[in-house]
Homo-oligomer: A and B are copies of this chain.
Amino acid sequence: MDLINIHRGVMIEKIKIAVCQMKVVDNKEKNIENAVNMIKEAAINLSNIIILPEMFNCPYDNQKFLEYAEKRSNSKTLKYISRTARNYGVYIVAGSIPESYKNNIYNSSFTFNNHGQIVAVHRKLHLFDIEIPGSIIFKESDTLSAGDNLTVFDSEYGKIGVAICYDMRFPEIFRLMAVDGAELIVVPGAFNMKTGPDHWEVLIRSRAVDNQVFMVAASPARNEELSYVAYGNSMIVNPWGDVLARAGSHEEMIYADIELSELEKVRRELPLLKNRRTDIYDVIKK
């Protein structure tokens, strides 16, 4: 960690990002314990922002979403993550969990600041329905409801955006987050063994290149015992589209030291956001 980081009140230049590519199993308590342990390891390694994968406490399975869903007000999962954020003084983008809210279940990502307070909630905007005969069939909309908001929030490190998995396939929301000031966009996501090899890297890198932002994509480790097998290959990418760190398929941590000021340099050299022809077209929020 850069020394500048320990001086409160000054601009924080260098940030250590950690992604916990954890192996999710069919046991909520074990998943929580594993998440907490991996966060502790990242914190001991002086990480500032620690990221968990999509559905880190629950197998990616419609039936399990129903079984594992928790209300924010009495979520055991969130209680443990909050406590760990506070105890170690780290930001945690807590991947996502099945969240029970009113009569619906959402695929929700909670972000905790270094005091353990929730500072952002992103509910997956686009539900994943895919049907490739003989390869992969999954209909998230069978059990889940979709959120209605883009998520960009301020932190002491800079402006952070959050999207979840299938959200990554829609370039509009990344453009809107970047225009809204997001410098780092975090995407917990569980691509599968068809879409992962074919699309995961190209999507992560193109969102970074188009919007000249840092991208962090956090996948669960590959677990062949579950009905839906995640691709792994969590990745941290800089605003030029270079891959700074990339996981394999197994459970592991990846790290990268980043400087958000790199955005300014890239945008000065190749002024993409400025060169948009917003007199001809635009992406709008409704």
Contact = CB atoms under 8 A, between A and B. Distances in A.
Interface of A: 125-127, 129-132, 146, 148-150, 166, 169-173, 175-176, 195, 198-199, 202-203, 205-206, 209-210, 240-242, 268-272, 275-286
Contacts of A209: 169, 199, 202-203
Query: For the complex, would chain A's binding face be called helix, strand, loop or mixed by DSSP majority?
Result: mixed
The copy count of this chain in the complex is 2
Contacts of A269: 130-132
B203 A270 contact: no
A125 B195 CA distance: 33
Contact of A283 (B271, B272, B283): B283
B281 A146 contact: no
A171 B131 CA distance: 26
Contact of A276 (B129, B172, B282, B284): B172
Given A206-B203, A209-B203, A241-B198, A281 B284 contact: yes
13 contacts: A125-B277, A126-B275, A126-B277, A171-B171, A171-B210, A172-B276, A172-B283, A198-B242, A199-B241, A202-B241, A203-B206, A282-B286, A284-B284
Contact of A282 (B198, B270, B284): B284
A241 B199 CA distance: 8
